Chain A
Amino acid sequence: GAVVSQHPSRVICKSGTSVKIECRSLDFQATTMFWYRQFPKQSLMLMATSNEGSKATYEQGVEKDKFLINHASLTLSTLTVTSAHPEDSSFYICSARDFVRGYEQFFGPGTRLTVL
């Protein structure tokens, strides 16, 4: 149990376009989902926290207008990178938490975004 999927696993887009990444909890209801960003050979940095039905809370320095997060249901959160530029190229990882299961976060497999 506690499986989280992400789609797509990798995406290449042109500069100026928008890209949507989906994060789904497959066998549990995710009351909270988190989005992280990981640059090559670096650690994970928390970008934002989203609770189902509420606006996402962004970490300091993360542009909320560039990284749109929607958590419309208890099993789906989306991250949309708007007007993507090469510096947005990174590995994006989501995690999900179900308060019934406690505080553990279950991670998705990640999405590699390359902006040309």
Chain B
Amino acid sequence: AQTVTQSQPEMSVQEAETVTLSCTYDTSENNYYLFWYKQPPSRQMILVIRQEAYKQQNATENRFSVNFQKAAKSFSLKISDSQLGDTAMYFCAFMKIKGGGADGLTFGKGTHLIIQP
């Protein structure tokens, strides 16, 4: 079984600052995906960014980027130029790929990110 650890229950930064959320995971699998999801107060899960384990290049989506260190089993999320709308719970998630399908997601406990005006 795999585990996902987010060691920062809550973080607070000023608007326009850069913030990094940490995530580590433990698995014996070699074929998997990693995700960061955002859950605002509406509780709708929103995909922020995805990383395929077989890709060495770190994923980037506009202001969001990851630092994927496969050997260290680390997957941190960097948010640049933070905005008030980034305030939300952020969950790191792991998905094992198997055959032609995939398992469900294993989530970390989440980090509550607060962007201060």
Contact = CB atoms under 8 A, between A and B. Distances in A.
Contact of A99 (B43, B101, B104): B101
A111 B108 CA distance: 21
Nearest to B50: A104
Interface residues of B, number: 21
Interface in A73-101: 91, 93, 95, 97, 99
Interface string A42-66: 1111100100000000010000000
Interface in B44-69: 44-45, 47, 50
A59 B104 CA distance: 10
B110 to A, nearest CB: 5
Contacts of A95: 45, 104-105
Given A42-B109, A43-B108, A107 B44 contact: yes
Contact of A93 (B45, B109, B110): B45
Contact of A46 (B45, B101, B105, B110): B105
Contacts of B108: 43
B44 A43 contact: no
A38 B43 CA distance: 10
Residue picked from A42, A95, A104, most chain B C-beta under 10 Å = A104
Contacts of B43: 38, 91, 93, 109-110
Contact of A34 (B33, B44, B105): B105
A108 B103 CA distance: 18
Contacts of B102: 32, 97, 103
Interface residues of A, number: 22
A46 B91 CA distance: 14
Contacts of A46: 104-106
A44 B42 contact: no
Contact of A105 (B100, B105, B109): B105
Given A46-B104, A110-B43, A103 B109 contact: no
Interface of B: 33, 42-45, 47, 50, 91, 95, 97, 100-110
Interface of A: 32, 34, 36, 38, 42-46, 49, 59, 91, 93, 95, 97, 99, 103-105, 107, 109-110
